[in-house]
Structure 1
Amino acid sequence: MARKINKKCLHCAGLDIESASEIHGELGDGCWNPKICRRRRSHYRNRVENNAKRRQARKLGGTSRKISVTVEQPIVAMVTFYKQERKDALLHAVSAAVWQGDTQLAVIEPVHCLGWTPRQVRTYLERVLVKLNEEYRIDNFAQMLTKHPTECPIEACPLASSN
């Protein structure tokens, strides 16, 4: 039969280490033991994931083996639009990247599009695709991402959250 969950330890695991040692240390209720508590706190924080792994291993009979299959990853281009989610929001910036699997092969640096008409944006993206076709034989964007303007990676951007 499984051991009962200690509610005090479960609560303590959710606290940061300083707060936990203060509340349960010498000035608190005195139950803090650094030799035991660090491991126990880790156990309580990760118990859901650890129990799921154990259940999965039991389901597989404890004899699971990993099989790897090599896959030829295609080279794809992704375009990122920096704009707010409103339908009438103006496009703030646009960038693109070329990927093969989880490896980034190239980046088209982001450019601000403030004041651009939809036709100018289309023309710019067509020029990007011409360049990508020359380099990687890519003739369309595989995926289009939308990010908020505060995530704009351009250093001089007044809306970027990191500035």
Structure 2
Amino acid sequence: MPPPVPIAPAAILVLYRQQTDAPVHAVAAEVWQENQLVAVVPPIHCMGLKGDRVSAYIKEMLASLAQQFGVTRFEDVIKEVPVAQCPIEPCPLRV
């Protein structure tokens, strides 16, 4: 009988954008443990932010999640969500 699989939290980066090569509209994160969502970092708009500032914010999110859940990286698969589903109110691209 194989040993039990260790259960560890997984951090998922969430990017709101029109397509994979489009600029990022908003960024968020989720933490999952097995098939249960255990935490959400709410999205922030990236409009007006340069790429290096967006990258810095993503690193800050990961550092916060590392303190809370012990995750050290985001999973390789990025959750991409269409801009039309941006939950931030008001959102200038959905007006």
TM tier, shorter chain? 0.7 to 0.9
- Secondary structure of 1:141 counterpart: coil
In the alignment, what sits opposite 1:66? none
Measure, in 1, the Cα distance between the counterparts of 2:68 and 2:14: 20
Taking structure 1 as the reference length, the TM-score comes to 0.51
Bigger Rg, which one:
1
Measure, in 1, the Cα distance between the counterparts of 2:90 and 2:66: 30
Choose which of 96, 108, 126 in structure 1 pairs with 2:29: 96
Measure, in 2, the Cα distance between the counterparts of 1:94 and 1:147: 10
| Structure with a larger share of its residues in strand | 2
In the alignment, what sits opposite 1:139? 72
Choose which of 129, 147, 163 in structure 1 pairs with 2:62: 129
Taking structure 2 as the reference length, the TM-score comes to 0.84
| Structure with a larger share of its residues in helix | 1
Runs of 4 or more consecutive aligned structure 1 residues displaced over 6 Å after TM superposition: none
Measure, in 2, the Cα distance between the counterparts of 1:128 and 1:79: 9
Give me the CA root mean square deviation.
Answer: 1.8
Greater relative CO (CA pairs within 8 A, separation 6+): 2
1:145 offset after TM fit, Å?
1.3
- CA displacement 1:139-160 (0-9 Å, x = unmatched): 1101311111001111322334
* 1:120 paired to 2:36: no
Could you tell me which runs of 5 or more consecutive residues in structure 2 were left unpaired when the two chains were aligned.
none
Could you tell me which runs of 5 or more consecutive residues in structure 1 were left unpaired when the two chains were aligned.
1-69
Please show how residues 4-153 of structure 1 align to structure 2 within 5 Å.
71-85=5-19, 87=21, 89-142=22-75, 143-153=77-87
- Tell me the percent identity: 33
1:105 offset after TM fit, Å?
1.0
Contact 1:90–1:114 (8 Å) recurs in 2: no
